[in-house]
Amino acid sequence: MVVLVILAIGVAFYEQSKPHPNVYITVAAVVVIMYGAMRLSAKIPGRKDDDIQ
3-state per-residue secondary structure call for the chain: CHHHHHHHHHHHHHHHCCCCCCHHHHHHHHHHHHHHHHHHHHCCCCCCHHHHC
pLDDT of residue 1: 82
* pLDDT at residue number 43: 86
pTM: 0.77
Q: What pLDDT was estimated at residue 53?
A: 57
pLDDT for 3-51, tens place per residue? Answer: 999 999 999 999 999 999 999 999 999 999 999 999 988 888 877 765 5
Give the start-to-end residue ranges of the domains of the chain.
Answer: 2-42
